[in-house]
Amino acid sequence: MHWDNIEFKGLDGKKRVVNAMNIPLPEQNLTISAVQDVSAQFEAQATLRAAEEQFRGLVEQAIAGIYIMQNGHLVYVNQRCAEIFGYATAEALRGVDPLTLVVESDRAKTLEHMQQLADGTVQHMAFEFTATRQDGKMMTIGLHGARATHCGRHATIGLLQDISEKKRDEEQIARYVKQLEGAVMRTVEVATTLSEMRDPYTAGHEKRVAQIAVAIGAEMGYNGQRQEGLRVAGYLHDIGKITIPTEILSKPGRLSTIELELIKGHARASYEVLRNVEFPWPVAEIALQHHERMDGTGYPQGLKGEAILPEARIMAVADVIEAMASHRPYRAGLGIEAAMQEISRGRGTAYDVAVADACLRLFREKGYQIPA
C-alpha cells in the first residue's frame, strides 16, 4: 500500500492534486480508497521552489561578491566573489579560511571585525581591508557583513566589492583639494604682501592678527575648519587699505577728522573687495565687522551683540592686541600688558565676554606670545 499523487482538473477548470491510497480487501472482494486534497500544499511547494530559484539566480548573478562563513571558513561564495579574488569557479573558494586572502598587515584588524560578528558583539559591520588576488595583485575590498543563520547554525553573511579604483579616485581628489587649498592660501598671502607694500610701517600686522585669532579660536574650541577661516580672514581683514592714500597710512602725526574717516572706510572697502570671492567662510563679513563693538560703539555699521559674527568678535580682539603691542609711525608699541588691560577693561562692553576670557587665559595663564 502506498500513496499516489493524482493530478486532474476540477469542474471549475483549476488544476487539483489529490493524494490517494487504495487498500484492497480480497475476502470481501472490495477496495477501500483514501483520498486527500493536497492542492494547496503542492502549490506552496511550487511557489517555494520558484522563489528559491529566483533568489539563487539573483545571488549567482549579483554584481557584488556574496559569501557565507561558518566556523572561520567560507561555506558558500557566489561566482562574482570568486571573480573578485581571481578564481575561475566559486568551488575553488569554498572551505577556504578567508584570512588567507587578506594581506598580513590587515589580518589582525580583519580578524577582530570577523570575531565581533561571529560572537554577536555587533549584528552588522562595514569595513575595508587590502586583499591579494590569486595572481598576486593587491586590491582594496569594501565589505559589509551581518550576523545570520545558515542551516540552523550561526553564520556570517556578507557582501563585498573591489573598491580599488574608487579609493584611487578618492586619493586623487584629496590631492587636488590639498593643492587647491595651498593655491588659495598662497593667493591670500600674495594679496597680503601687496597690501603691506603700500603700508610698510605695519608690515606683518595681518599675519600676526591671523595667528592671534587662530590661537583664540582654538582656545574657544573651534575646530580646524573654523580656525582656517580665522586665518584667511586675518590675512585679508585690512585688504581695503589699498584704497587709502599711502601718505595717510604712513603719516607720523595726528590724523585729521577727514583722514580718520578715510581710514575707517577700510573695513567696508575690504568687504567690497572680498564679497564676490566664494570662500567657505564668511571672510568678507568678518572683514566688514572687525571694528564693530559689542556695545554698538564700533564702525562702520554700529552693530551690537549677537548681530556681530562670532569670528568678527575674535578678529576685533586680535586686531586690538596686535595694534597696541606693535610700533606705529605715530607712537611706540604699548606692550602686551597694556593690551591685556584694554581687553579686561572692555570685557562685556566693547568685547565679547567669551572671547576676552579666552584671550586673557592665553596670554596671562598659558604664556602665549605674539609671533614675531
* pLDDT given at position 8: 66
* pLDDT given at position 316: 96
Judgement on whether residues 135 and 271 belong to the same structural domain of the protein: no
Are 66 and 158 contacting, i.e. CB atoms less than 8 angstroms apart?
yes
Q: Is 49 domain-assigned? A: no
Pairwise CA distance, residues 81 & 86, whole Å: 9
Judgement on whether residues 355 and 316 belong to the same structural domain of the protein: yes
Q: Which residues pair with 67 in a beta bridge?
A: 77, 158
* pLDDT given at position 104: 93
Judgement on whether residues 329 and 199 belong to the same structural domain of the protein: yes
Judgement on whether residues 285 and 304 belong to the same structural domain of the protein: yes
* pLDDT given at position 133: 92
Judgement on whether residues 280 and 150 belong to the same structural domain of the protein: no
* pLDDT given at position 171: 83
Are 287 and 239 contacting, i.e. CB atoms less than 8 angstroms apart?
yes
Q: Which of 115, 147, 162 is the C-terminal boundary of a domain?
A: 162
Q: How far is CA 270 from CA 63, 226, 276, 302, in A?
A: 55, 20, 11, 17
Judgement on whether residues 233 and 330 belong to the same structural domain of the protein: yes
Q: Is 26 domain-assigned? A: yes
Judgement on whether residues 195 and 272 belong to the same structural domain of the protein: yes
Judgement on whether residues 305 and 235 belong to the same structural domain of the protein: yes
Judgement on whether residues 32 and 118 belong to the same structural domain of the protein: no
Judgement on whether residues 39 and 88 belong to the same structural domain of the protein: no
Closest CA to 251 of 215, 216, 295, 202: 202
CATH no. for residue 348?
1.10.3210.10
Judgement on whether residues 173 and 151 belong to the same structural domain of the protein: no
Mean pLDDT of successive 10-residue stretches along the chain, which has 372 residues: 65 71 72 67 62 55 81 89 91 91 93 88 90 92 87 86 86 77 69 63 78 96 94 89 75 78 87 87 94 95 96 96 77 82 95 97 91 76
Pairwise CA distance, residues 76 & 60, whole Å: 11
Pairwise CA distance, residues 146 & 127, whole Å: 12
DSSP 59-97: HHT-SSEEEEEETTEEEEE-HHHHHHTT-S-GGGTTT--
Q: Which of 162, 181, 198 is the C-terminal boundary of a domain?
A: 162
Q: Which of 119, 137, 162 is the C-terminal boundary of a domain?
A: 162
Residue 358's SS3 state is: helix
Please identify which residue in the block is written with the cell numbers 539563487. Answer: 56
If one counts the domains in the chain, the total is 3
CATH no. for residue 69?
3.30.450.20
* pLDDT given at position 46: 62
Judgement on whether residues 225 and 348 belong to the same structural domain of the protein: yes
Q: Is 50 domain-assigned? A: no
- Note the Cα 101 to chain centre separation in Å: 30
Q: Is 261 domain-assigned? A: yes
* pLDDT given at position 339: 93
Q: Is 113 domain-assigned? A: yes
Q: Is 212 domain-assigned? A: yes
Q: Is 372 domain-assigned? A: no
Domain extent, residue 28, equals 1-43
Q: Is 54 domain-assigned? A: no
